[in-house]
Amino acid sequence: MLPSAHAPGTVGTPADPPRGPAPSGPARRRRIGPAAATALVVLPASLALWLLSLRDVRLDGMGDLGLLQVLPVLFWVALGLLTLGFCVAASARRTPHGCYALYVLSLIAMLHATPPLLYGEMRYSWAWKHVAVVDAMLRHGGGVPHAGGFDIYNQWPGFFQLNALIVRATGLETPLGYAMWAQVLANVLLLVPLLLIYRSVTDDRRLIWLAAFVYYSCSWVGQDYFAPQAFTFLLFVSVIALVVRRLPSARLPNGDAGRSAWPPGRLALLLLIEAAIVSSHQLTPLMLISALLLLSLPRRNRRVTLPALAGALVLTIAWNATVARRYVSENLDSFVEALTHPEANLWSGLSRLADAAPGQIMVSWIDRGLSAGVFLLAALALVVHRWTRRTPLPLLVLSPLPLVLVNGYGGEMVFRAYMFALPAAAFLVAALLLPAGRRAPARMCLAYIALLAMLGGLLFGYYSKEAMNRFSAGEVAATRYVTTSTPANSLIVSVTFAAPGLETDYDRHERAEITQEGIDAKRLLARDPLAGLEPILARAGDQPAYVLLNRAQYADVRLNGEMPRGFVERLASELSASPAFTPVFRNADAVVYRYDTPTAGGRR
């Protein structure tokens, strides 16, 4: 385990004793040591193997474990080699920051650039929906009129308005081109505030960069796609970084720590970031208030934290009382009810596995095990290394937990709490893993094994649903046809939401999703798909109706079990055999049927 002396410059920890005169000037800057030299050789080799591994991936072979089933052995070798090279670099004290940065950026590339490089189309249906919201705001001059389920985006429009501004400024027609790379960009940008937080706690470069590597090895929740949550999480970590840098416990060579007042420019920047958070997302402002509130508990922190906390509170209350008033008032009863059932909030995200595919049940428990393991290692670090208790990190780990007890957030609050606690927890885990002294190279073997286990758990959570998250060019073409080439006011029926761009031109058509129907309607559909479809199609009235089936919907039903297994296959078979449905668009991955309404005499 790591003795407290490993982190020179950290509060309460002595620096390492001098080891003779150190070289100065250019000679010192040129010496990197054999470990760093070895790491710089391993890095390009691992990247080359990774790129080679992507040449012959058979995406049509994905099943219940998604990309995990089709990625070749060479991919795993490349990831293991990259992790090994990082551990070799971290076993020596003279490894330069640039070497560590290259390794962490390469890890981000391997984890987050692999899907867009393989697919050629943006993954994840919610990302397509958010692109549709930006497109709608561009078409309507800033709002989303007649929005129905889109109305919430009018009440928290910050993220979408920013992207509309980017699209106008760059001359693009849509954010789709850069949105498919949002996960890579979000994680690269997140590295900056993460490093600022870690640099505020220690000046040990090995610990700083190992914490960053641990973070990206454990961040499995997947809320980093083109979405307000990814944007506001980046801003949340940025606010925490600005605050932590000024706390009395921070260890910074620039003298920021311990200053009693915020300079006007930095306070204005802080309030601007908080305003962007408040105007873009419902949950993140509450997470920020909780974090700043806990950081304010030690009296020595209050001169720094209270201005930030006051700004977050005032901005959140003002926004919710004005722009978001409708949403808050309509959901106030459910908020109050959630406060009285903390145990239901806690378990709401942990009890929805009964109908999922067996592989997905296994994945869910692996993710839960990884999350529990991270918190356990973080707690153990607090026990083993007393100096970590004098940092703000324990409070930041605990800060999301009160919100878990007061709201279930649609069954996702437990996972969001893990996501918001992870930046601080990753540092504590790194402090526990990083060895010191002459036996450091040998002890890094244990860290290597731990990192491989973390990455394995992350990839199960991150890649296992790619059968439904990936969209082919054929699926994109089918959805584009049904949303743009069908008559206005048509009804579009799909089994699930797993179709790319169903919300495009939302104001031109009506939507119905079978998995969102009531339990009685689902039972009728399960017994007789065509008979169960009739009440849904009747909502079209005199307008045309279309049914869209695509490959990802088959996978969605199979993985999540919201309809009986084989339901989509039965529905497709009966649609193709029925004279009431005419295929108007078809390719290898999707088909669109037009419903021909019976005439008054009963003939079609």
Poorest-confidence range of 209-213, 326-330, 577-581?
326-330
Which pLDDT score, from 0 to 100, does residue 506 have? 85
Q: With a cut of 70, say whether residue 335 has pLDDT above it.
A: no
Which pLDDT score, from 0 to 100, does residue 598 have? 65
Measure the CA–CA gap between 198 and 249, rounded to whole angstroms. Answer: 12
Rounded mean pLDDT of 469-483?
Answer: 96
Which pLDDT score, from 0 to 100, does residue 599 have? 55
Select from 270, 255, 245 the least CA-distant residue to 391.
245
Tell me the percentage of the chain whose pLDDT exceeds 90: 71
Poorest-confidence range of 149-163, 222-236, 324-338, 455-469?
324-338
Rounded mean pLDDT of 173-179?
Answer: 92
pLDDT classification of 404: cutoffs 50, 70, 90:
confident
Q: What is the pLDDT of residues 427-464, one digit of tens each?
A: 999 999 987 655 666 678 889 999 999 999 999 999 99
Which pLDDT score, from 0 to 100, does residue 1 have? 37
Question: What separation in angstroms does the CA of 581 have from each of 436, 498, 586?
Answer: 70, 22, 13
Q: With a cut of 60, say whether residue 66 has pLDDT above it.
A: yes
Sign of CA dihedral 18, 20, 21, 22: negative
490-494, strands of its sheet edge to edge: 509-513, 490-494, 545-550, 590-595, 581-587
Mean pLDDT, all residues of the chain: 87
User: Which segments of 73-148 does DSSP mark as H helices, in order?
Assistant: 73-90, 97-112, 114-119, 125-139
Q: Looking at per-residue confidence, does 3 or 492 come out higher?
A: 492
Tell me the percentage of the chain whose pLDDT exceeds 70: 86
Measure the CA–CA gap between 124 and 357, rounded to whole angstroms. Answer: 19
Q: With a cut of 80, say whether residue 592 has pLDDT above it.
A: yes
Helix (H, G, I), strand (E, B) or coil at 561: coil
Q: Give the DSSP letter of residue 585.
A: E
Which pLDDT score, from 0 to 100, does residue 374 have? 97
Cβ-contact 468, 552 below 8 angstroms? yes
pLDDT classification of 28: cutoffs 50, 70, 90:
very low
Q: Max Cα separation, the chain?
A: 101
Q: With a cut of 90, say whether residue 526 has pLDDT above it.
A: yes
Q: pTM of the predicted model, to two decimals?
A: 0.90
pLDDT classification of 507: cutoffs 50, 70, 90:
confident
The single residue listed with the structure tokens 């050789």 is 41
Q: Which domains does the chain have, with CATH numbers?
A: 4-14+31-123+180-467 (no CATH), 471-595 (3.40.50)
Q: Three-state SS across 497-549?
A: CCCCCCCCCHHHEEEEEHHHCCHHHHHHHHHCHHHHHHHHHHHHCCCCEEEEE
Which pLDDT score, from 0 to 100, does residue 54 have? 96
Measure the CA–CA gap between 385 and 5, rounded to whole angstroms. Answer: 10
Which pLDDT score, from 0 to 100, does residue 340 have? 56
